[in-house]
């Protein structure tokens, strides 16, 4: 399967303003890029590239006063398989976790484990460990929180989401991540592209998506508390402790986002139709 992805951002700045962008496909999918997702920036400005502490691709620049347009498009080869389901994946004891997984057990900007710890243990303390426990958390979040784009709020934390019972995909992910961490399951926040592949089309405008990964059975697995079903065609852009680590744009000064669009479509090729030969009658 081939998937076309891309975006267009248009900002307005009153004065010269530094920016950090996290808009490239994650290095773990670099080998799947059939057409590279090179950033196009107008007007042209110097851009520096670096990897952050989580291995995400970051671009650093100074936007001039006025309007700046940032866009990219790429073609990604994908297996066409839905998210893997492994009910037997076991939960590790904290003492045997790899060092790099420990950071994903701790509280972070949007994931207040200390506030949700009693709730987590009262709800999930008696569930089977491992995959069934993570799925129970996803089931709870999926049924507890109402999705709606008008509910978006940049300051909403996992505790806020639990209390308000509404949010967007990042809020579903933050609450599920926090509950997993409370139960000693490493969980990391993910953002990227997720199109309507294999599901009925959503009439709402396309946006970047958020989901999460947990460390079970010696590897990371994908979960999605918002949709709560395996999906096809996820293309990760960045991973971190929560949304604060993976913002697609961080600006160090006032600005206005004037235009924002995202594209995620399967490329469907139609083979040439051939006519059946006429039957020969003896």
Other CB atoms within 10 A of residue 223 CB: 26
pLDDT at 280: 34
Contacts of 168 (CB under 8 A, 6+ apart): 147, 148, 149, 151, 152, 210
Rounded to two decimals, the pTM is 0.93
Q: How far is the C-alpha of 39 from the C-alpha of 59, rounded, in Å?
A: 9
Q: For 106-121, what is the mean pLDDT?
A: 98
Whole-number average pLDDT of the chain: 94
Confidence check: pLDDT of 75 > 50: yes
pLDDT at 271: 60
Confidence check: pLDDT of 272 > 80: no
Q: How far is the C-alpha of 130 from the C-alpha of 175, rounded, in Å?
A: 18
Confidence check: pLDDT of 275 > 50: no
Burial class (CB in 10 A: 0-12, 13-18, 19+), 167: buried
Confidence check: pLDDT of 32 > 70: yes
Q: Which pair of structure tokens corresponds to residue 43?
A: 């007007």
Q: How far is the C-alpha of 102 from the C-alpha of 188, rounded, in Å?
A: 11
Please tell me if the domain spanning 2-79+247-266 has the same topology as the one spanning 94-244: no
Among 85-99, 224-238, 263-277, whose mean pLDDT is lowest?
263-277
Higher pLDDT, 270 or 107: 107
Domain-by-domain residue ranges, the chain? 2-79+247-266, 94-244
Q: How far is the C-alpha of 39 from the C-alpha of 231, rounded, in Å?
A: 27
Cβ–Cβ under 8 Å, residues 61 and 251: no
CATH architecture, range 2-79+247-266 = Sandwich (2.60)
Confidence check: pLDDT of 111 > 50: yes
Tens digits of residue pLDDT in 127-176: 999 999 999 999 999 999 999 999 999 999 999 999 999 999 999 999 99
Contacts of 276 (CB under 8 A, 6+ apart): none
pLDDT at 270: 66
Q: For 223-243, what is the mean pLDDT?
A: 98
Q: How far is the C-alpha of 186 from the C-alpha of 102, rounded, in Å?
A: 7
Q: Are strands 166-167 and 146-147 parallel, antiparallel or unpaired?
A: parallel
pLDDT at 51: 98
Could you confirm whether domain 94-244 is CATH 3.10.620.30? yes
pLDDT band at 241 (very low <50, low <70, confident <90, very high): very high
pLDDT at 107: 98
Confidence check: pLDDT of 276 > 80: no
pLDDT band at 204 (very low <50, low <70, confident <90, very high): confident
């Amino acid at each position: 399967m081939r998937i076309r992805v891309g975006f267009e951002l248009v900002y307005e700045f009153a004065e010269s303003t530094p920016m950090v962008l996290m808009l490239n496909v994650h290095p773990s999918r670099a080998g799947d890029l059939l057409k590279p997702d090179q950033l196009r920036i107008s007007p042209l400005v110097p851009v520096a590239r670096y990897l952050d502490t989580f291995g995400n691709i970051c671009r650093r620049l100074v936007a001039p006063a006025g309007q700046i347009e940032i866009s990219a498009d790429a073609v990604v080869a994908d297996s066409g398989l839905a998210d893997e389901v492994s009910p037997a994946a076991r939960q590790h004891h904290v003492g045997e976790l790899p060092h790099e997984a420990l950071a994903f057990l701790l509280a972070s900007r949007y994931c207040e484990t200390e506030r949700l710890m009693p709730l987590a243990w009262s709800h999930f303390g008696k569930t089977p460990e491992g995959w069934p426990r993570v799925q129970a958390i996803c089931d709870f979040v999926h049924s507890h929180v109402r999705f709606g784009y008008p509910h978006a709020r940049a300051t909403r934390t996992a505790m806020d989401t639990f209390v308000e019972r509404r949010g967007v995909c990042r809020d579903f992910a933050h609450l599920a991540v926090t509950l997993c961490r409370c139960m000693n399951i490493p969980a990391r926040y993910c953002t990227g592209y997720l199109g309507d592949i294999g599901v009925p089309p959503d009439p709402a405008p396309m946006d970047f998506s958020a989901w999460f990964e947990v460390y079970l059975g010696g590897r990371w697995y994908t979960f999605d508390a918002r949709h709560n079903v395996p999906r096809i065609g996820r293309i990760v852009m960045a991973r971190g402790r929560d949304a604060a680590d993976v913002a697609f744009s961080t600006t160090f000064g006032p600005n206005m986002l004037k235009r924002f669009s995202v594209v995620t479509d399967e490329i469907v090729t139609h083979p040439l139709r051939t006519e059946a030969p006429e039957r020969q009658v003896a």
